[in-house]
Amino acid sequence: MTDAPAGSLRGRDLLSVADLSAGEVNRIFDRAAELKAEFRAERRHAGPPLVGRTLAMLFQRPSLRTRVTFEAGMNQLGGHAVYLTEDVVMGARESVRDVALNLERFVDAIVARTGPHEVVVELAAQASIPVINGLTLREHPCQALTDLFTLRERFGELPGRVLAFVGDGNNVYHSLALLGAMLGLEVRLAHPADYSPSHRIVDQARAIAQETGARLVFGRDPAEIVRGADVVYTDAWTSMGQEAEMEARRDAFGAYRVDDALLDAAGPTAVAMHCLPAHRGQEITSAVMDGSRSIIWDQSENRLHVQKALLVEILGG
């Protein structure tokens, strides 16, 4: 990566939401709101800010939202995205170091969607261009930024809001806990005993929360955890790479389904979120997904606008 000017995101990597300050997050959110308003009004940007810029997309894991929103986003901003399929990326034909040293000569930034978090860390260490984490087993920073931007749209100010995550203490939860702590939320997690989040991530989030007045809460009972929450959030019980655990996970998470009764337990103004893809009838019901209390499709759309804002902040002048 390159060194950014003081107070700027230009040239910066984004491997974890903890790489950002609260001020930088809010700048991304403000930029996203501007880009969204302009795009919704005109379906284009009058002065595309990334003309001539190229983004490489290294994807070892399949994607709908991450791929389309980064690829379409670069196009809408005047740039171009190059999608590299799994058979040409790291560890098979070439080492991570060699991939990074090649791509820094060809393109302006890299989005990597992979398994081990260490892959994006090594890419960032070896490449002189920005590297953005499009998903690892440890974190999903672009998703968390999108989620809290969506909540800011819905509720206004974020400090003091309560986000209740129901299910696995996974990469999405990790990023939500870190970013929620940074922005002053109360982030709760209801999870089965054997599906706890990373202790290192929780300790990091708690340290941030001590500075911001945020709070982390954990429990086993979903109805208790969601009581009084502004948002009830869930994710797939079985993620990519966990297919061998599918039956065990279905048994463990059977009591953690987000349905109308669980939303009712949260309160009359609570909304439902899901990072998608969803397994309807498992972690969430179709009635919730398609109902009036769902903001899932707003979440999905906002991946486009938040990631465009991130690209402009990192690659813009």
Instruction: Write the pLDDT tens digit of every residue in 278-292.
Output: 999 999 999 999 999
Q: Is 10 a member of any domain?
A: no
Phi, psi of 184 (to 5 degrees): 85, 20
- CATH assignment at residue 99: 3.40.50.1370
21 C-beta neighbours (distance < 10 Å), count: 11
Catalytic residue among 53, 65, 113, 191: 113
| Domain ranges, residue 107 | 17-139+302-315
- Where are any strands of DSSP class E within the chain? 54-59, 80-84, 109-113, 131-135, 162-166, 186-190, 215-219, 231-234, 271-274
In a domain, 275, yes or no: yes
Are residue 35 and residue 164 in the same domain, yes or no?
Answer: no
Q: Is residue 150 located within the same domain as residue 42?
A: no
Same domain? For 215 and 263 the reply is: yes
Same domain, 156 and 285: yes
Within a domain: residue 2?
Answer: no
pTM: 0.95
Active site residue 142: no
The percentage of the chain sitting over the pLDDT mark of 90, rounded to a whole number, equals 87
Strands lying side by side in the sheet with 162-166: 215-219, 186-190, 162-166, 231-234, 271-274
Confidence band of 246 (pLDDT split at 50, 70, 90): confident
Question: Within this chain, do residues 104 and 146 fall inside the same structural domain, yes or no?
Answer: no
In a domain, 77, yes or no: yes
Residue 120 in domain? yes
In a domain, 107, yes or no: yes
Selecting among 188, 235, 282, 299, the annotated active-site residue is 235
Domain count, the chain: 2
Same domain, 37 and 163: no
Question: Is there a domain that residue 251 lies in?
Answer: yes
Q: Indicate if 143 belongs to the active site.
A: yes
Q: Is 58 helix (H, G, I), strand (E, B) or coil?
A: strand
Whether 97 is a known active-site residue: answer no
User: Which residue out of 140, 257, 274, 305 is catalytically annotated?
Assistant: 140
Q: Mind listing the pLDDT tens digit for each residue in 10-69? A: 999 999 999 999 999 999 999 999 999 999 999 999 999 999 999 999 998 889 999 999
pLDDT (tens digit per residue) in 103-144: 999 999 999 999 999 999 999 999 999 999 999 999 999 999
What pLDDT does residue 203 have?
98
Please indicate, yes or no, whether residues 252 and 269 belong to a single structural domain of this protein.
yes
Q: What is 208-266 written as a DSSP string? A: HHHHHT-EEEEES-HHHHHTT-SEEEE--SS-TT-GGGHHHHHHHHGGG-B-HHHHHHH
Q: For residue 275, indicate whether it is catalytic.
A: yes
Q: Does a structural domain hold residue 267? A: yes
What pLDDT score does 199 carry? 98
Tokens of 265: 């337990």
Q: What is the mean pLDDT of residues 218-225?
A: 98
What is the overall mean pLDDT for the chain? Answer: 94
Number of residues written out for the chain: 317
Closest to 212 in 3D by CA, of 174, 181, 179: 181
Q: What is the mean pLDDT of residues 212-216?
A: 98
User: How much is the pLDDT for 89?
Assistant: 56
Quick one: which of 203, 148, 207, 193 has its CA closest to 172?
148
Claim to verify: residue 245 and residue 268 sit in the same structural domain: yes
Q: Work out the pLDDT band at 243, boundaries 50, 70, 90.
A: low
Are 164 and 252 within one domain?
yes
Selecting among 143, 282, 299, 307, the annotated active-site residue is 143
From 65, 191, 257, 275, the catalytic residue: 275
Rounded CA gap, 58 and 85, in Å? 7
Q: How far is CA 310 from the centre of its chain?
A: 12
Q: 199 and 134 in one domain? A: no
Looking at the structure, tell me whether residues 155 and 255 fall in a common domain.
Answer: yes
pLDDT band at 176, cuts 50/70/90?
Answer: very high
pLDDT digits (tens, 9 = 90+) for 82-97: 999 766 556 667 889 9
- 64 and 28 together in one domain: yes
Task: Give yes or no for residue 172 having a pLDDT over 80.
Answer: yes
The answer on pLDDT for 270 being more than 60 is yes
What does the pLDDT read at residue 3? Answer: 53
